[in-house]
Amino acid sequence: MQRSVLGSSSLRTTWQAAEKHKVSAFFDYNPTCFCDRSNFEQIQSPEATDNWYNKPNTLMQLTWKAPVTSRLFLQANTTIYRLILNEREQFRYGTDDNVIPALDQTLAIYYRALVQSPTLNMGLEKHSTELYRASANYVTSFHNAKVGFERRHGLRTGDYRSHGGSIQVGTRNFVPFQITEVATPFLYLDEMKADGGVFAGDDWTLKRVTVSPGVRWEYLIGRVPAQSVPAGPFVPARTYAAVEDVPNWRDVSPRFAAAWDVFGDGKTAIKGTWGRYVAGEQVGPTRSDNPQAQTIVSVTRNWTDTNGNFIIDCDMNNRFQNGECQQVNNLNFGLNNPSATQFDPSVISGYGKRSYSWEQTIQFERQLSSNVSGTVG
């Protein structure tokens, strides 16, 4: 059964730097442990579960506000987020790095040590995100205009490894029959180089009608920094050049809203909106184009444990049949994978290539009494 240990500490402060300048700061620290964590779709013995620590897990915000005049209001803020995901084995059950994990495919039981995906086993992930925003509002009796920009930068690094010397064993009724060799370590670097936009909008009131036109120019640029990966038990040291512009998207998204006070008494209104919205993206396309994700990272080979000692009596660096081991199922292990996802350059670069949706709404509102209203939309 999973145990969750959650912590939370926060601090908020405000400084009136001058008559028209206020600065506020917020800091939040949330260390967590999802202990004895198991996949509820699988049966796992205690030593095959893991502890997932989120520490540190911090959020920092700094905001500046300035009502410069009765009509002009300026605001800027920054948000910095830091998270480390540390997935660890269950040392308290006597498991160490040398224990080879096993999956019994007949009984669907994971045992001996932590078993996960060959491509993402235990490891350390670091997430870092920085967001910057600034805007200006100009208000008159007929207009409420707003312009601004925002920009976000993020970096995700992953250092993944496997138990038992990058080996996993498959059994049937606890009798070994197969070995999986994994090309660990994996050192992934994925960078959101820039994600943001520039926007402008206005609320324009004319008698009983208020219209709100706006437009947003948006961009998202991802890249894979250059990577150097040390040698593992079955693969040599690897070096990968940087991959730029995965993706490099640009979009122009118009938006419009309107509200009509039907009778001029503020009790009956018809409202509508229409706009284009791009899909939220992180580093999915970037990870898919990471050179390490384009390689064959695991192979299987049949194994007959002839003496029943659960020791693999063969040279596993010899990919052909030898000792108790048969030939691996793919001799291109550790090399480029031709079946990996390949993006057409025209899909990951240019205007209008990012996923988006159009949204339209319309609704009728009526105040029925002093404390009752109805809406149909």
Return d(Cα 159, Cα 135) in angstroms, integer: 38
Q: Say which amino acid occupies 19.
A: E
Please write down the long-range contacts of 233-238, taking CB distance under 8 Å and 24 or more positions apart: 233/165, 233/166, 233/167, 233/181, 233/184, 233/316, 233/317, 234/166, 234/181, 234/182, 234/183, 234/316, 234/317, 234/333, 234/334, 235/183, 235/333, 235/334, 236/334, 238/292
Distance, in Å, from the CA atom of 49 to the CA atom of 34, rounded to the nearest integer, reads: 11
Paired with 84 in beta bridges are 126
Measured distance CA(131)–CA(126) in Å, rounded:
17
Task: Name the nearest CA neighbour of 362 among 373, 347, 375.
Answer: 375
pLDDT for 115-151, tens place per residue?
655 544 567 788 899 999 999 999 998 889 999 999 9
Task: List the structure tokens of 122.
Answer: 């235990």
Per-residue pLDDT of the chain (377 residues; tens, 9 = 90+): 567 778 889 999 999 999 999 999 999 999 888 776 665 556 777 777 777 788 889 999 999 999 999 999 999 999 999 998 887 766 666 666 678 888 898 988 888 877 655 544 567 788 899 999 999 999 998 889 999 999 999 998 888 776 667 888 999 999 999 999 988 888 888 999 999 999 999 999 888 999 999 999 999 999 999 999 899 889 999 999 999 999 999 999 999 999 999 998 889 999 999 999 998 877 677 888 888 888 898 999 999 999 988 899 999 999 999 999 999 999 999 888 877 777 888 888 999 999 999 999 999 999 998 899 999 99
Question: What are phi and psi for residue 373, nearest 5 degrees?
Answer: -140, 160
Instruction: Give the start-to-end residue ranges of the domains of the chain.
Output: 206-292+352-377
Instruction: For residue 151, count CB atoms less than 10 angstroms from its CB and return exposed for 0-12, middle for 13-18, buried for 19 or more.
Output: middle
d(CA 267, CA 369): 9
| Residue 237 CB neighbour total at 10 angstroms | 9
- Rounded to 10 degrees, the C-alpha dihedral 259/264/267/273 comes to -10
Q: Which amino acid is at 337?
A: N
* SS3 labels along 218-260: EEEEEEECCEEECCCCCCCCEEECCECCCCEEEEEEEEEEEEE
Measured CA to CA in angstroms, residue 231 lies from 186, 234, 239 at distances of 10, 8, 10
The three-state secondary structure class of 136 is strand
